[in-house]
Amino acid sequence: MGSDHLPITTSIPVAPPKPQRRGRGRLSLRKADWQEYRRTFDGIIGRWDDHGDLTASELDKRLTAAITRAARRTIPYGNGGRTREPFWSEACDEAIAIRNEARAKVAAPNHTAEDVRDYQQARKNADTVLREEKTSFLRKRIAELGPNTDLWSLIRTLDGRKPPAKPAEPLNRAGPPGRPARPAVTDREKANALCQAYAAPCLDAVDTWLRRWKVTPSVTKCTATLFTLDPRESGGKVKPYLTLRGEELPYSRNPTFLGIKYDPQLTFADHIDDLKAKMSRRRRCLQALAGKTWGSHRRTIRAAYIGYIRALFDYGAAVFGTYAAPSVRGRLEAEQNKCARVITGCLRATRKDALLAEAGLPTLSLRALQLAGTEYQRVIRLPPNDPGRSLFRKEVQPRLQHRAYKAWQRTRNDATAAGRPPPKPPDETAALPHRPCLRRVGKWLAEEAGIEELPVEPMAFYSCDPPWLGHRGGTTFRVDLPVATRRSDPPAVRREAALRAIAELPQPDVTIWSDGSARGGMEQGGAGALIQFHHLNKEETVRAPAGAVCSSLRAELTAMREALAAVAGLEDGELASIKSVRLLTDSRSGLQLLGRGPASQTMALAAEVWRLLNTLAENGTETVLQWVPGHAGLDGNETADRLAGEATAGDQDSAPIDLSSARAAVTRHVRELSRRRTTAAHPHPDPTPGHDSLARWGSVTLSQLRTGTSPLTRDTLFKIGLAANDECPACGEPDSVTHLLIDCPAYEAARRRRWGVDPRLVDVLGGPAARVVDFIEGVGRTEPPLDPPAPPPP
């Protein structure tokens, strides 16, 4: 072949190259003794002669040589890129050094028999040291083992085995139809080939399952999406070639799954943009309601917003509302602020936190935290083999840093260095050092609410028993008295009605008085019961803790369960002699819940009560559960109430927490976070009585006055550019909400008639709302005090 170029030869390796030793490596700066280095360097340059005649290049060489010489004397070298075993320590280095020194003596031609014995002893000592270090390292790692730790990897590491090297085969990319495959060369082609190598077998498994169950998929409705954080591959830059049943899957940049739109980098920005557009369209309904006399009440508009607009955000917010960046989440916050201005009528210049507090709405970020916390509590109560529970309980090493946390830490450090007080975090999740997600936020909220370490009660799932086996009869619920009573009736009247209801019941063999107690209806629950065995002429008492986080209903059901379990747990002879049981409780809600039947119970505790009732029914025992009013002077009820109070001091940490109690605890914690925001941002966080009953104009005027940004004051008009100054039109002093309501001398008489002498602003806004509106109308400040128009030009 004629050519004017010389031949170009290349060598193609046919096997993986052998590893090459790199030498002693670079200087290890982490192990350097910098004080010794400085002394050595100063000593070298101190011995220099006069260098006035040297050029700049020669001075540079001389200084570089001094730095290098001082570094070689004081800074040790690294290991040349070779990684040490994880168990390696200084004792191993010392033992290996002694062994190598003894081996060098034995390798010398003039070695002696004593050198051989010393080498054998050094080798034995080195082996012992390595074995002891391996044992110590293994014990430490075993103490740290979790359910998701790879123990085989640890064994292979200590055994000195390495995973087999992958064969040196090139990645091939599929060519066009009719052409053979060729090796992947570019990074994009390699990424595409790797996606196909891992995803194609999964699609084949799906196809096999569909064929086995005689299901024909619609390939045209299936799509493939590549999720990656690499901007060079996301957004359709890399489209994997995947096939299902021989047909190529089309690529979709933003697939929608279960109503959530995903993007390649999982920022949820596209979904939030769509959600913002939907909320904006629905906001027009609020504006229409605000213009109607029959729908302009603040309470009506707020309820419409929560049920019609915020419900769009609630769907899936536990996932995208916690993971999305604050800047992306802020798009929805801006839309909620617009709705809050429709609800309250406040101006755009109003502070955002004060605006939401006036509307009675938490921020959407706090709403997402609440939804994530409650969803986390639901998932961890699923069956042990459920994939969702396994995922939430899995220990995962955090990988993504939280930028908001790092920015807050930098601000804190700068403030501390400058002697200023550290700033508060910009967001509740800014305290998390790693990127928030549903699992991390849910666990963090559980820890903050104090329920993460408490045992959980699994949920009660639907029973597969047929209806005719669910309720076996023999159980009667009575939630009313023969004579209707009210809680406001005297105790003697309610006691008489209760005794009459008890007298109408058949004479039982066993009477149970049960009661439950919970501090504030939320925590430190206790259950107590008095069991009277009439046919055996004896009494028993039962006490049991109901849980550190507990509702009054759960405490009552715990008392019923413990009492029925004591009866059902009797010996066969004693249990057979019981033909009728009467349970008296002051929990009407508990009896109403149980009265729905065993198949309708979602609480494991209520399902357990029904199991005990069915056990007594199988024994032929008739059970009547009767409601009686509490604190009506009934001796049995008072005794059960005392026992329940004593049970609250028991071991609460051993009592499991049900789903409703856990959700209530998370919700209370999030509401407390919202209350702190309200207290810090709103000038007057306490509500004004009668605010919701005002007409639209009065409600809007009061909301504007409460938030401190009202068009009826000159300072607000001056701030938004509608007035030349902030002087009060009545007295000439600086105008504001405080000046208008309590300071302006021109309105002293009208103010004194309504609130007395020298009222405080908290007294004015804390009193009846109609009085504030009447004062504004009485002093003639119902319109904004704008500047008079300029005279026309001559």
DSSP 288-348: HHHTSTTT--HHHHHHHIIIIIHHHHHTTHHHHHHHS-HHHHHHHHHHHHHHHHHHH---T
Is 296 exposed, middle or buried, given 0-12, 13-18 or 19+ CB atoms closer than 10 A?
A: middle
| Helix and strand counts by DSSP (H, E) for the chain | 30, 12
Longest dimension (CA), the chain: 126
State the pLDDT at residue 652: 83
Handedness of CA 61, 62, 63, 67 (dihedral sign): positive
| Over residues 15-28, mean pLDDT | 57
* Region for 266 from its dihedrals, namely left if φ exceeds 0, alpha if ψ lies in -120 to 50, beta otherwise: left
Tokens coding 281:
């369209």
Q: How far is CA 67 from CA 48, 406, 652, in A?
A: 13, 37, 67
Three-state SS annotation for 386-443: CHHHHHHHCCCCCCCECHHHHHHHHHHHHHHHCCCCCCCCCCHHHHCCECCCHHHHHH
* Region for 743 from its dihedrals, namely left if φ exceeds 0, alpha if ψ lies in -120 to 50, beta otherwise: alpha
User: Rounded distance, CA 452 to CA 107, Å?
Assistant: 64
Q: What is the pLDDT of residues 557-613, one digit of tens each?
A: 999 999 999 998 888 778 888 889 999 999 999 999 998 888 888 888 998 999 999
The residue ranges of every structural domain in the chain are 27-45+58-81, 90-145, 218-265, 267-400+435-456+657-682, 402-434, 467-656, 691-778
User: Rounded distance, CA 639 to CA 617, Å?
Assistant: 27
Q: Contacts from 458-464 at CB under 8 Å and sequence distance 24+?
A: 458/381, 458/382, 458/383, 458/604, 459/378, 459/381, 459/382, 459/602, 459/604, 459/659, 460/601, 460/602, 460/603, 460/604, 460/606, 460/607, 461/383, 462/599, 463/598, 463/599, 463/607
Q: Would the pLDDT of 3 be above 50?
A: no
Q: Please, what is the average pLDDT of the chain?
A: 85
> 131: which residues sit within 8 A by CB, 6+ positions away?
none
Q: Would the pLDDT of 521 be above 90?
A: no
State the pLDDT at residue 79: 60
What percent of the chain has a predicted confidence (pLDDT) above 90? 38
Please give the distance of CA 716 from its chain centroid, rounded to a whole number. Answer: 40
State the pLDDT at residue 600: 82
State the pLDDT at residue 145: 63
Tokens coding 319:
């996932």
β-strand partners of 77: 27
- In this structure, are strands 580-585 and 510-519 parallel, antiparallel, or unpaired? parallel
pLDDT band at 465 (very low <50, low <70, confident <90, very high): low
Least confident interval from 6-15, 64-73, 284-293: 6-15
User: Rounded distance, CA 131 to CA 87, Å?
Assistant: 10
Q: How far is CA 65 from CA 40, 47, 58, 738, 783, in A?
A: 13, 13, 11, 75, 84
User: Rounded distance, CA 401 to CA 436, Å?
Assistant: 9
Q: Which residue has the higher pLDDT, 86 or 498?
A: 498
Taking the CA atoms of residue 645, residue 651, residue 657 and residue 662 in that order, the dihedral angle to the nearest 10 degrees is 70
| Over residues 693-718, mean pLDDT | 93
pLDDT band at 76 (very low <50, low <70, confident <90, very high): confident
Tell me the backbone φ, ψ of residue 528, rounded to 5 degrees: -140, 150
- Domain 467-656 belongs in CATH node 3.30.420.10: yes
As a residue count, the chain comes to 794
Is 321 exposed, middle or buried, given 0-12, 13-18 or 19+ CB atoms closer than 10 A?
A: buried
pLDDT band at 510 (very low <50, low <70, confident <90, very high): very high
Q: What is the pLDDT of residues 545-556, one digit of tens each?
A: 988 898 999 999
Residue 513 near residue 529 (C-beta atoms within 8 A) = yes
* Region for 552 from its dihedrals, namely left if φ exceeds 0, alpha if ψ lies in -120 to 50, beta otherwise: alpha
| Over residues 364-391, mean pLDDT | 92
Least confident interval from 273-287, 372-386, 462-476: 462-476
> 321: which residues sit within 8 A by CB, 6+ positions away?
313, 329, 364, 365, 367, 368, 371, 372
State the pLDDT at residue 14: 46
Taking the CA atoms of residue 702, residue 706, residue 712 and residue 718 in that order, the dihedral angle to the nearest 10 degrees is -160
State the pLDDT at residue 463: 62
User: Rounded distance, CA 361 to CA 372, Å?
Assistant: 18
Q: Which residue has the higher pLDDT, 190 or 23?
A: 190
User: Rounded distance, CA 612 to CA 614, Å?
Assistant: 5
Q: Would the pLDDT of 227 be above 60?
A: yes
Residue among 532, 480, 483, 474 nearest 508 (CA):
532
* Region for 532 from its dihedrals, namely left if φ exceeds 0, alpha if ψ lies in -120 to 50, beta otherwise: beta
Residue 87 near residue 131 (C-beta atoms within 8 A) = no
pLDDT band at 1 (very low <50, low <70, confident <90, very high): very low
Please give the distance of CA 530 from its chain centroid, rounded to a whole number. Answer: 42
Query: What is the three-class DSSP state of 649?
Result: coil
Tell me the backbone φ, ψ of residue 758, rounded to 5 degrees: 50, 60
State the pLDDT at residue 15: 46
Q: What is the pLDDT of residues 666-690, one digit of tens each?
A: 999 999 998 888 888 888 889 999 9
Q: How far is CA 97 from CA 94, 122, 136, 310, 419, in A?
A: 5, 9, 21, 71, 52
Q: How far is CA 149 from CA 154, 390, 393, 396, 650, in A?
A: 9, 14, 13, 10, 37
What percent of the chain has a predicted confidence (pLDDT) above 70? 90
pLDDT band at 651 (very low <50, low <70, confident <90, very high): confident
The answer to pTM > 0.85 is no
Residue among 134, 119, 130, 140 nearest 91 (CA):
130
Q: Would the pLDDT of 741 be above 80?
A: yes
Residue 781 near residue 751 (C-beta atoms within 8 A) = no
Tokens coding 9:
């030869």
Question: H-type helices in 144-250, by residue range?
Answer: 151-159, 187-212
Q: Would the pLDDT of 771 be above 50?
A: yes
Stretch (H or E) spanning 502: helix 491-503
State the pLDDT at residue 153: 72
| Over residues 451-477, mean pLDDT | 74
Instruction: Give the DSSP letter string of 19-73.
Output: P----S-SB-GGG--HHHHHHHHHHHHHT----TT--HHHHHHHHHHHHHHHHHH
